[in-house]
A = this chain, B = another copy of it.
Amino acid sequence: MAQKLEKITQRDEDFSKWYTDVVKNAGLADYGPVKGTMIFKPYGYAIWENIMKIADKMFKEVNVENVYFPLLIPASLFNKEKEHIEGFAPELATVTKVGDKSLGEELYIRPTSEVLICTHFAKEVKSYRDLPLIYNQWTNVMRWEKTTRPFLRTSEFLWQEGHTIHSTPKEAKEMTLTIFEIYKKLANDFLLLPVISGRKTEKEKFAGAKETYSIEALMYDGQALQSGTSHYFGDNFAKAFNIKFQNKEQKEEYAYSTSWGVSTRLIGAIIMSHSDDQGLVLPSKIAPIQIQIININESDDVLEISNQLKNDLKNDFRVFVDNTDKSFGYKISEAEIKGVPIRIEVGPRDIANGVVTISRRDIRNKEQVKINEVKEYVNKQILEHDKNIFNIALNNLNSRTFKANTIEEYQEILENKQGLVLVPFCGDIDCENDIKEKTQTNSRCIPDNVEHKKSKCFNCKRDSDKLVYFARAY
């Protein structure tokens, strides 16, 4: 393990190589045999399980019901919503045969399930009494990507996709925003990712949506990462899929739909926000192991205290004791590289003094703590650990947030620094395409916590009534 540790590239030296080194050495993932696919190893998948549990609980509190829709979508269905098919066509993995037999119609592996679920909604929804339907599914989806990286961008990924249908635009918009708030809470409180949040521009909104809201985290290297999106479709999909209902006045109306998702990208965001040269640093709420107890030897005294501590802590924390014949040093390195928030070392000399040695992963300290005070100490330190890693990420976000009023100022920031740049922007698609061409950057969002004023667009100089974040992004 010591050897493996040495292979981690320094983060400031080569961020991209550091990232793949951490993913590999922490045992999170491996590459699949098909280009652009990945294998979630147990430690990586356990993080996703914890994220799923947290998000699923919050969804169920707002009456979301889980469902499962088929993997394959007939091409004819997909073609019903024009913007949607245009957005996804080049990325669609296509099933054309079964065994030796060609299929009558080509079938796409879902890149997202709006078209399937809207087809079902059209059958289910007859009266206002049938509304709303608030569905979610935890699934795999495929979008064939040219450049891929574990967790961040892979041809197949895991996510949740929510799909809802409502009787009024107001209720559908509220649903979009309720989930948007849940995503903010998930990022801030559980993943310890300070995010900027707001509506997407015309160019960046989802294929077929009227409005897209997104949360965007800033990585250690100053690039943004879209971390969750919630879409309001108005009656776009209802019209394309003929989802009508009889309202209280017995009149037929189109319904209003939303969709929203977060994916295994979040694991990439966590790694690139919190981790360091020694490997992973994990928010305690999603860490598969919160406390690791490491015994210096196998003497009766050591095993007794180790067991006692495990029993004291295991009801409140996910505790792991590695009983393999790996060396003490190896186990310490492994706990570090895997980002275990709290490490407790139990050794004979410490025990004789009535103490054990405790380290926090974020600050890598060593503190001797009385055995009967361990529980209290750990309870406090795990909160401090989380507070500290949130603040480090927040400092990074704050120190890398800039303003610009002209394209020249913007380009200068891009050349010398990396981060989010708040600019007055007209909102026009052609203007944003022009900015993309000049700078290879996109808008991130129209922030919801900023005072928007009338001004001139930083690029085209036409009137602008809003400030927008632009940045390089993953």
Q: Which positions in A face B, CB cutoff 8 Å?
A: 30, 32-34, 37-42, 45-46, 48-49, 65-74, 77, 89-100, 107, 109, 116, 119-120, 123, 129, 135, 139-140, 142, 144, 156, 158, 324-326
Contact = CB atoms under 8 A, between A and B. Distances in A.
A231 B21 CA distance: 36
9 contacts: A40-B69, A41-B67, A45-B65, A68-B158, A71-B71, A72-B93, A92-B98, A95-B95, A96-B97
A109 B123 contact: no
A96 B102 CA distance: 11
A69 B156 CA distance: 10
A37 B72 contact: yes
B34 A107 contact: yes
B95 A94 contact: yes
* Copies in the assembly, this chain: 2
A154 to B, nearest CB: 9
Contact of A33 (B41, B74, B109): B74
Nearest to A48: B68
B34 A74 contact: yes
Given A33-B116, A74-B33, A156-B72, A144 B39 contact: no
A71 B39 CA distance: 10
A66 B94 contact: no
Contacts of A91: 98-99
Contacts of A99: 89-92, 94, 144
B72 A34 contact: yes
Contact of A94 (B74, B96, B326): B96
A98 B144 contact: yes
A419 to B, nearest CB: 33
A94 B92 contact: no
Nearest to A74: B33
A139 B68 CA distance: 11
A364 to B, nearest CB: 27
A140 B158 CA distance: 12
A66 B37 contact: no
Contacts of A98: 90-94, 144
Contacts of A109: 71, 95, 109
